[in-house]
A and B are shown apart, each in its own frame.
Chain A
Amino acid sequence: MRNKYSVFSLIKNALSYHENWQKAWKDPAPKKEYDAVIVGGGGHGLSTAYYLAKKHNMNNIAVVEKGWIGGGNTGRNTTIIRSNYLWDASAGLYDHALKIWEGLSQELNYNVMFSQRGVMNLAHNLQDVRDLKRRTHANRLNGIDAVYLSTEEVKKFCPIINTSPDIRYPVLGGTLQRRAGTARHDAVAWGYARGADAMGVDIIQNCEVKGIKRNGDSVEGIETTKGFIKTKKVGVVAAGHSSVIANMAGLKLPLESKPLQALVSEPVKPIIDTVVMSNAVHAYVSQSDKGELVIGAGTDDYVSYTQKGSHQIVEGTLNAILELYPIFSRMRMLRQWGGIVDICPDASPILSKTSIKGLYFNCGWGTGGFKATPGSGDLFAHTIANDEPHKLNAAFNLNRFVSGDLVDEHGAAAVAH
């Protein structure tokens, strides 16, 4: 039985110097057979397992993870959560996630530190202004909160932004989604892992998938570094390594894996109480609860699995940050890192069945998957359990690259991919 976290458990454990806390999840060896196996123990994979157990009563399932929980892109992103996407299909998908975020800490009994501090997107040229206004209207038609801000209103909402008309890319306006914000990324993975484990899900770390065994057009199991695991359903949630797994099954995906970088500064006192993103100059920044500025850079344009990116990408982002926030000019950067993101041609994800029965893919989230973690897991669990997509992820099928019914969020997604 899982102990509940509460103020009483905190006091009780304080009396024993916090040495007797129950483990948040077990570390089991894989069983011979499961009803379903999720490949990838990041936020999306763990939330998939959590909702499979919680909503679809599939408790004999496992999550296999090559590394450790929270060590992949879940622990490498800039934690921004928003749902102000242009197209109806995307709005449905991302706002579904945002609604789950709003009650997630209570649901998981784990503080994911979801903070609705707002996300502001800046416009720097006339086309940005038109695009952002259009997106604001589209958002409101879809029931997503969005307002358009003038330059003065941008300055009022975030006073440290340089709104001088003399800078190279002046701020001409912006949009604001107040329900948007940030969450603690590690806590999301840990909370879902703990929740899934409590319902009987086996979370198997340091277990790399080496092959997918097929019998004709159906899945029979997976070969791993911890032996063969028999299962009829495999849900692959492997982010940048999705193509690697797909190739094992003889499939090709419309993905390219590229390094995306982020960096944090030394911690300072509260200076920016929201998230500001700028597509045109590619700079986005927020401040963590520890006080670090969290800065997202862009992707390199070549395929790489190295989890490091090019220096000039960081330099370009910091140039833009400094022009927009001259006050940061003497900040020192503490850490920089990269993650491998799987980018779809239309910058929208794939949550889909495949031509192989029992093989499902949840991938293609590219540079912006963290925000969708709860919704992605919920909808992917539905897809796996019912062998049919939920109506909210029906548009995000693999077949859209054949039919041409793409969900083109490039540029429209308020951030460059």
Chain B
Amino acid sequence: MFLINCPYCGERDQQEFKAGGEAHIERPKQPTELSDDEWAEYLFMRKNIKGVQFERWNHAHGCRKWFNMVRDTSNDEIKAIYKMGEKPPAQ
């Protein structure tokens, strides 16, 4: 449980938010040309990092907008928050 600084609403309790998993997984541009291995990679394989991880979050019980977060999963410390479409900060 922690506080999240929504880029649209400001600081709110984490329980207002929905975690959306790993960020920056690009949707395949040509889905019909993907091999089974590439589909598995896109759909299922995750880095699941212990440490600094890039994630998507949704302010589900607030403005309902999606944004990105850089968070250390070993201690839940939030390093950065940035809007969708913005460049991820260098880590």
Contacts and interface: CB of A to CB of B under 8 A. Distances in A.
B48 A255 contact: yes
Interface string B20-32: 0100000000000
Interface stretch (A81-89, A162-170, A306-314): A306-314
Interface string A224-240: 00000000000000000
Nearest to B18: A301
Nearest to A254: B44
B48 A302 contact: no
A256 B44 CA distance: 10
A257 B18 CA distance: 16
B46 A304 contact: no
A402 B45 CA distance: 10
A155 interface: no
B48 A303 contact: yes
B73 A254 contact: no
B19 interface: yes
Given A303-B19, A303-B55, A312-B1, A254 B45 contact: yes
Given A303-B73, A305-B73, A312-B15, A403 B47 contact: no
Contacts, number: 70
Nearest to A242: B48
B37 A310 contact: no
B41 to A, nearest CB: 8
Contacts of A252: 41, 45-47
Contact of B44 (A243, A303, A304, A401): A401
Contacts of B44: 254, 345, 401
Interface residues of A, number: 27
A253 B50 contact: no
A214 interface: no
B59 to A, nearest CB: 14
A396 to B, nearest CB: 14
A243 B50 CA distance: 8
A305 B47 contact: no
- Which bucket holds chain B's interface residue count? 20 to 34
Residue among A247, A306, A403 having the largest count of chain B Cβ atoms under 10 Å = A306
Nearest to B48: A243
Interface in B45-78: 45-50, 53, 55, 71, 73-76
Contacts of B50: 241, 243-244, 257, 305
Nearest to B47: A252
Interface in A205-264: 241, 243-244, 247, 252-257
A253 B74 contact: no
Nearest to B35: A402
B40 A402 contact: yes
Contact of A306 (B14, B43, B74): B74
Contact of A302 (B19, B46, B74): B19
Interface in B1-26: 1, 14-15, 18-19, 21
Given A243-B48, A312-B1, A402-B40, A304 B76 contact: yes
Contacts of B86: none
Residue of B1, B39, B41, B74 with most chain A CB atoms under a 10 A cut-off: B1
A253 B48 contact: yes
Nearest to B14: A310
Interface string A276-304: 00000000000000000000000011111
A252 B22 CA distance: 13
Contacts of A256: 21, 46, 48
B42 to A, nearest CB: 11
Contacts of B55: 302-303
Nearest to B74: A305
B48 A257 contact: yes
Given A306-B74, A401-B45, 6 more contacts: A252-B45, A257-B48, A302-B19, A303-B48, A304-B76, A305-B74
Interface of A: 241, 243-244, 247, 252-257, 300-306, 309-312, 342, 345, 401-404
Going nearest first, the 8 A-B pairs with the smallest beta carbon separation are A302-B19, A243-B48, A254-B44, A310-B1, A252-B45, A402-B40, A401-B44, A301-B19
